Amino acid sequence: RKVVFSPYFMFSLFLDLFGIYNNGRRLWNVSGAMKSNIRGI
């Protein structure tokens, strides 16, 4: 029995990966802003 990757499964997987990517970018931006603030002090 083959596993069929349904479009819905692929779409939800894509959304999960996209959400993780966005969260990672937001955390990176926040840490970058904190670093620049520390440098500015």
Is the pLDDT score of 41 beyond 60? no
Residues 6+ apart with CB under 8 A from 15: none
Q: What's the token pair of residue 2?
A: 């083959």
∠ CA 25-6-23, rounded to 5°: 10
Q: What is the pLDDT of residues 2-35, one digit of tens each?
A: 767 688 888 889 999 999 998 889 888 888 888 8
**Predicted local confidence at residue 16, as pLDDT:** 92
pLDDT at 18: 92
pTM higher than the cut 0.95: no
